[in-house]
Amino acid sequence: MASCPVPSVSSVVAGARQVYRESFGASEPVVAVCAPGRVNLIGEHTDYNQGFVLPMALPLVTVMVGSPTPDRSVSIVTVAEGADEPRRVDFVLPNDSATPIAPGMPKWANYVKGVLQHYRAGPLPGFQAVLASSVPLGGGLSSSASLEVAVYTFLQQLCPDDGDAVSKALACQKAEHTHAGMPCGIMDQFISVLGKDGHALLIDCRSLEATLVPLTDQGLVILITNSNVRHSLTGSEYPSRRQQCEEAAATLGKSSLREATLEDLEGAQGQLDKETYRRARHVIEEIGRTERAAAALREGRYHEFGELMVDSHNSLRDHYEVSCPELDELVAAATEVEGVYGSRMTGGGFGGCTVTLLEAAAVDRAVQHIKERYSGTPTFYITIPSDGARALSL
């Protein structure tokens, strides 16, 4: 099939082990873990509004291999493509948990430091480790969350916590807030921890309960297309969207947009500026769409699911304004192909990937058509819903 092959987890582990031997005096790591990236099928920019999301964990993973050290020293090497320099960091864990582990440079190490800071058990031993990843960095497939969750899972092997999965996801989210400065919602960390082979997860981001939605139909394919562009707006646009949603909810007298209906919004239209109104409208409609889409998927109504995906994309483009010409081009191209049910941007936006639901028989023709129509150079992944973070045997 004309797509980008997904490297096996064992091949990523083998690469990391090799670098471990080279970096740490020919010794072997004793622990190996992996945590997946994700693709969100629908429910975009709804998680921090307490709404529903429908992601699935990917076979693309971040791997961490390593061993505890007898002191409090930490040495980590990354071989993840695109990580900033230097690729090795060494530091000593503070003696008391009240002393913060401050973020700094390189950026990739801040995710590790954030997780060390918010880990839910201790005292932690020192360790030496290697990080490797098959999740494209900055591609909108949650490379950051998979890194955080891999680090947390690694620490669980050295110093077990109570094993509560939701608290684990929340600790990783906190790491991203405090150490990467990104006020993300809970979706990415949640699915990276709790993803399940053969299933998407309908996550209620208010109650933090999740329902499994089976996704094993052999006649169906989930195709990810990486636009291979990332617009630099991302940094400021995400927090400002979040703020607009909070303002809209406050104007409607609601604790979040999850509590608001379209009628509430129409009633308050005069009190909201046009842009904030459109933002809120996207969120309220997208929450409803996600619930309907999960039901459609469960019942095999793929055409309906596909239409909801396209509605979601159009709303993200026109109301939430987080798409970009490259993503719009990819969605337009995909939806021209016979056998494609639907397509949309996935993740935060401003570049990154689209997700397309299509008949298995249409994959080659879709890949070909998208390649021809897209003005850039796309990368494709044919993916299956995979398991969440786990320890691996060495």
| Residues with catalytic roles | 188
Round to whole Å and give the CA distance between 331 and 354.
7
Task: Classify 320 as helix, strand or coil.
Answer: coil
Per-residue contact string for residues 295-334; x = within reach of ligand GLA by CB under 6 A: ----------------------------------------
Of these, 17, 34, 45, 260, which contacts ligand GLA (CB under 6 A)?
45
CA distances from 31 to 67, 68, 117, 158, 393 (A): 6, 9, 21, 8, 8
Residues 6+ apart with CB under 8 A from 81: 133, 136, 137
139 binds ligand GLA (CB under 6 A): no
Least separation in angstroms between residue 185's CB and ligand GLA is 3
For residue 187, state whether it binds ligand GLA (rule: CB under 6 A). yes
184 binding ligand GLA? (CB under 6 A): yes
DSSP letter for 258, please: G
Q: Which helix (H) or strand (E) holds 35?
A: strand 31-40
Q: Residue 343 in contact with residue 227, Cβ under 8 Å? A: no
Q: Does a cis peptide bond (omega within 30 degrees of 0) precede residue 106?
A: yes
> How far apart are alpha carbons 188 and 178 in whole angstroms?
16
Helices and strands per DSSP (H, E), number in the chain:
11, 13
DSSP string over 156-167: HHHS-----HHH
What's the CA gap between 38 and 195, in Å, rounded? 9
Measured distance CA(238)–CA(44) in Å, rounded:
12
Q: Which is nearer to ligand GLA, 60 or 337 (by Cβ)?
A: 60
Q: Which stretch binds ligand GLA (CB under 6 A): 14-22, 115-123, 183-191, 243-251?
A: 183-191
Q: Does 20 bind ligand GLA (CB under 6 A)?
A: no
Q: What residues between 76 and 135 interact with ligand GLA by CB under 6 A?
A: none
- When binding is defined by CB under 6 A, the residue of 44, 311, 359, 387 that contacts ligand GLA is 44
Among 9, 20, 47, 127, the residue binding ligand GLA under the rule CB under 6 A is 47
Comparing CB distances to ligand GLA, the nearer of 47 and 264 is: 47
Q: How far is the CB of 205 from ligand GLA (least distance, A)?
A: 9
Region near ligand GLA per CB under 6 A, out of 81-89, 105-113, 180-188, 270-278: 180-188
Site size toward ligand GLA, by CB under 6 A: 10
Which among 28-36, 74-82, 147-155, 184-192 is the span making contact with ligand GLA, rule CB under 6 A? 184-192
Under the binding rule (CB under 6 A), the answer on residue 66 touching ligand GLA is no
Residue 48 found at the interface with ligand GLA (CB under 6 A): yes
Residues making contact with ligand GLA (CB under 6 A): 44-45, 47-48, 184-185, 187-188, 347-348
